[in-house]
Amino acid sequence: MDAIWRRMNLEAIYILWLRDLTRYFRDWVRVILSLFRPTLWLLIFGTGVNNLFQMQKMNSGTDYLHFLFPGIITLNLIFASLYSGISIIWDREFGFLKEILVAPISRTSIALGRTLSGTTVSLIEGFFVFLLAPFIGVKLMASKFIPLAVIMFLIAFTGTALGVLIAVSIPSFEAFGIVANFVVMPMFFLSGAVFPVSSNLPGWLKYLVYLNPLTYGVDTLRSILVGVQVFPIWFNLLILSLFGWLVLFFAVLVFNKKR
Amino acid sequence: MKIIETKNLTKKFTPSLCSKCWRTLQGLFRAPSLKLWSVSDKNKTFLDKGAGFTAVDNISFQVEEGEIFGFLGPNGAGKTTTISMLCTLLKPSSGEAYVNGYNVVSEEAKVRQSIGIIFQDPSLDERLTAWENLKFHSLIYGIRKELIGARAQEVLNLIGLSEWRNEIVRKFSGGMKRRLEIARGLLHYPKVLFLDEPTLGLDPQTRRHIWDYIHELREKKKITIFLTTHYLDEAENCDRIAVIDFGQIIALDTPQGLRKLLPEDAIFLKTVNDEKAKIEIEEKYKVTVNFNNGGIFFSIKNGEEFIPELLKNLSLTVKSVNLKRPTLDDIFLKLTGREIREEKIKKDDWFRGILRSHSRR
Ligand SMILES: Nc1ncnc2c1ncn2[C@@H]1O[C@H](COP(=O)(O)OP(=O)(O)OP(=O)(O)O)[C@@H](O)[C@H]1O
Ligand SMILES: [Mg+2]
């Protein structure tokens, strides 16, 4: 087990990262889509629901658009990171994965390289959402940048690690659709992104929300941006990073075992 | 030292629990129309493979340094599986294999440094340019940065794609991609080059070009070449050939040696009077002559030299004459007493095929 981690090779990780980013910036459709998704959610869904809630403000007195904003950042982060993670399956279908697998680098580096590139892409797409902040009146301060970057990194990292784990465990191509429909959306809806995590939720729903690692990410983001929080920050950070590393560890383990 | 050596190398595919579940799930959700593709094959995939499937069965062989060694066999014979084990991509179920003196299981990093491989399926990153593909390869193989430019240029010149270096690979034709893959496999100066069906899907001209190039490589760089093919005529470019079927080597010899198994060529003949011709030839040359749609045919040694003689001596006017040299099918029939297996279209392969044809465009 120890050997698996010792065998990672920094240079290889960097090269794999560089390749993924080169590909990303060539794929304009993906870049534009990542701008379009939050626009749709915030401006259409958000504005619509905001209208509904205009009279009765959300539990803490913020308006719904502001409440939703951190949730949409999370949506963009998780979409991008899971997608990057499972794009290992694309590489497998198009054969390039074999070129990487047969090279004199360890599988641990391959998994880490993909996790880091996915995290980077996801962070870029996550920060895109801030372009919409002026339109809905969310105030940004330079001092919030570092805490935001830290928590967004953790969410992105966890999501990508999860994507890599899915990609290395599921042998086929159909996983793409499954992930989009059965992983991203439930994780998003059960994270407190669109409704507040409060004690009035029915029991089953509450537990699902508590089980979802994203919940703790959304909560932290919201506390930084809107000043509302349910759990203590240290707890959120601990859960997210533990979950992220655990998932990555399993992904590396599975990947190393597959031969 | 032998550059490649295998002892009782075996690969048995046993589906893991995870893939079994996945297969079942896929079966449940498969669109009804797709079932048509696998009706006849269904029992095989679900029963045979469920219990495990031996793709490579106890093979042992040795390859000398500098040799061109060929694996000849029909679809599904186990050629790619063998290469995958030699390249450390698959773990042997039992037996041992050494490449360049290193064990493929315990010294996989050293094996990987010593080999270059051109896979059967395309394996380029189509979103990158030719140059970027080469650069990526150089970097992950740890070639020193100051050497990369010169080496990449050298291999690009070799395959004649220098003007295309900054084009995205997706725009390349299938043959150009193949050549680029060969170039890439050579970048890190491997001791052994594995070529899994190097000329698959190429036109005859490019095919010849690639063969010339393989011979040139062997002479210039002294590298050992291990390749697989379906075609007997192509296998004749090798120094030695192993014929493989159902995961076993059923013959291992030089091309001349294999030819000796089948010394006879078939001659197809059309004359003004086939009945008479049959009698005349049977009398003169002591061979059995058979009728074949609108003509006659028979087997004879050294067909090429026989034809002029036949034309000179036959009293009847010949309308057409055709020589057929033995093919892989004939060798198979001779060695195993049965026809070559039919290629089966499995659903997955069919789907991959579609993907591939898209990516080859
Ligand atoms: N991952 C796998 N799991 C189960 N069976 C496999 C797997 N890979 C290959 N096989 C089976 O092993 C056998 C040998 O396959 P292999 O790819 O080595 O054939 P091949 O000689 O390369 O054929 P071709 O000429 O079509 O490339 C086939 O019957 C194939 O279905
Ligand atoms: Mg093959």
B111 lines ligand 1 (CB under 6 A): no
**Span between the terminal Cα atoms of chain B, in Å:** 43
Give the other-Cβ count within 10 Å of B137's Cβ: 27
Which two tokens mark B340?
């070559």
Q: Report the alpha-carbon distance of residue A67 to residue A71 in Å, rounded.
A: 8
For strands B192-196 and B115-118, give the pairing: parallel
CA-CA distance, A217 to A205, in Å (whole number)? 18
Please state, rounded to an integer, the average pLDDT across all residues of chain A: 86
Give the span between the Cα atoms of A157 and B142, in whole angstroms: 27
Hey, which bits of B256-332 come out as E strands? 264-271, 290-292, 295-301, 318-324
Nearest CA in chain B to A169: B18
Q: Where are the domains of chain B?
A: 2-125+188-257+337-359, 263-325
User: What's the one-letter identity of residue A62?
Assistant: T
CA nearest to A193, candidates A92, A70, A76, A88: A70
d(CA B317, CA A82): 75
Is A26–B19 a contact, with Cβ atoms under 8 angstroms apart?
no
Q: Does A6 touch chain B (CB under 8 A)?
A: no
Tell me, what's the pLDDT at A23? 93
Residues 52-81 of A with CB under 8 A from B: none
Nearest ligand to the C-alpha atom of residue B44: 1
Rg of chain A (C-alpha set): 19
CB atoms under 10 Å from CB of B253, counted, come to: 14
Q: Using alpha carbons, list the distances in angstroms from residue B264 to A39, B160, B306.
A: 75, 40, 11
CA angle (A191, A178, A113) in 5-degree steps:
80
> What is the Rg, in whole angstroms, of the alpha carbon atoms belonging to chain B?
24
Answer CATH for B263-325 from 3.40.50.150, 3.40.50.300, 3.30.70.260, 3.10.180.10:
3.30.70.260
Residue found under tokens 């060539």: A26
Whole-number Å distance, alpha carbon A176 to ligand 2 midpoint, is 27
Does the CB of A105 have a partner CB in chain B at under 8 Å? Answer: yes
Instruction: Give the pTM.
Output: 0.81
pLDDT of residue B309: 87
Residues in B lying within 8 Å of A, measured between beta carbons: 18-19, 22, 26, 87-91, 109, 112-113, 115, 117, 119, 121-128, 132, 136-137, 139-142, 184, 351-352, 355, 359
Say if residues A20 and A111 touch (Cβ distance below 8 Å): no
With CB atoms and an 8 Å threshold, state whether B112 touches A104: yes
pLDDT of residue B79: 94
Tokens for A16?
Answer: 């794999």
Chain B residues touching residue A23 (CB < 8 angstroms): 125, 127-128
Q: What is the pLDDT of residue A177?
A: 73
The DSSP call for residue B168 is: B
Cα(A114)–Cα(A13) distance, rounded to whole angstroms? 8
Nearest to B126 among A19, A94, A173 (CB): A94
**Using a CB-CB distance cutoff of 8 angstroms, which residues of chain A are in contact with residue B123?**
94-96, 98-99
Q: What are phi and psi of B12, to 5 degrees?
A: -115, 125
Spatial contact of B67 and B14, defined as CB atoms under 8 Å apart:
no
Q: Are A59 and A196 in contact (CB under 8 A)?
A: yes
Q: Which two tokens stand for residue B102?
A: 């290193």
Classified as helix, coil or strand, B325 is coil
Asked whether the beta carbons of B190 and B217 are under 8 A apart, the reply is no
> DSSP letters of chain A?
-HHHHHT--HHHHHHHHHHHHHHHHH-HHHHHHHHHHHHIIIIIIIHHHHHHTSSS--TTS--HHHHHHHHHHHHHHHHHHHHHHHHHHHHHHTTHHHHHHTSSS-HHHHHHHHHHHHHHHHHHHHHHGGGGHHHHT----GGGHHHHHHHHHHHHHHHHHHHHHHHHH--STTHHHHIIIIIIHHHHHTTTSSS---TTS-HHHHHHHHH-HHHHHHHHHHHHHTS--SS-HHHHHHHHHHHHHHHHHHHHHHHHH--
Cβ–Cβ below 8 Å for A259 and B89: yes
Helix (H, G, I), strand (E, B) or coil at B44: helix
- The rounded Cα B149 to chain-centroid distance in angstroms is 32
Residue A204 has phi, psi (to 5 degrees) of -60, -40
B24-39 residue pLDDT tens: 776 666 555 444 444 4
- Ranges of chain B whose pLDDT falls below 50: 33-49, 342-361
What residue spans of B141-203 are helical by DSSP H? 145-159, 174-186
Selected for mutation to probe chain A from B123, B134, B169 (highest A CB count within 10 Å) is B123
Residues of chain A short of pLDDT 50, as ranges, are 1-2, 4-5
Q: Say whether residue A22 is in contact with chain B using an 8 A CB cutoff.
A: yes
Which one, of B234, B66, B253, lies nearest residue B243 by Cα?
B253
Give the pLDDT of residue B24.
72
Probe site for chain B from A14, A169, A255, A259 (most B CB atoms < 10 A): A259
Q: How close is the nearest chain B Cα to the Cα of A103, in Å?
A: 6
- Give the ipTM of the model, two decimals please: 0.86
Q: Coil, strand, or helix at residue B266?
A: strand
**Helix, coil or strand: residue B292:** strand
- What is the C-alpha to C-alpha distance for residues B123 and B126, in angstroms, rounded to an integer? 9
Nearest residue by C-alpha to atom 24 in ligand 1: B75
CATH superfamily of B2-125+188-257+337-359: P-loop containing nucleotide triphosphate hydrolases (3.40.50.300)
Cβ separation of A103 and B19 shorter than 8 Å? Answer: no
Burial class (CB in 10 A: 0-12, 13-18, 19+), A155: buried
B77 lines ligand 1 (CB under 6 A): yes
B11: Cβ below 6 Å to ligand 1? no
Residues with CB under 5 A from ligand 2 (ion): B 79-80, 120
Measured in angstroms, how far is the CA atom of residue B73 from the centroid of ligand 2? Answer: 9
Nearest to A79 by CA among A40, A111, A108, A48: A40
What is the Cβ-side half-sphere exposure of residue B213, based on CA atoms within 13 angstroms? 22
Residues of A in contact with B359 (CB under 8 A): 94-95
Beta bridge pairs of residue B195: B118, B227
Of B18, B19, B113, the CB nearest to A104: B113
Using CA atoms, how far residue A70 sits from A61, A77, B99, in Å, is 16, 11, 55
Helices B130-140 and B145-159: crossing angle, nearest 10°? 130
Give the 3-state secondary structure of B87-137. CCCCCCCEEEEEECCEECCCCHHHHHHHEEEECCCCCCCCCCEHHHHHHHH
CA of B87 to the centre of ligand 2 (A): 14
Q: Which of B18, B83, B12, B59 is nearest to A257 (CA)?
A: B18
Query: Quick check: CB of B73 below 6 Å from ligand 1?
Result: yes
In tens, the pLDDT along B41-78 reads: 443 444 444 567 899 999 999 999 999 999 988 888 89
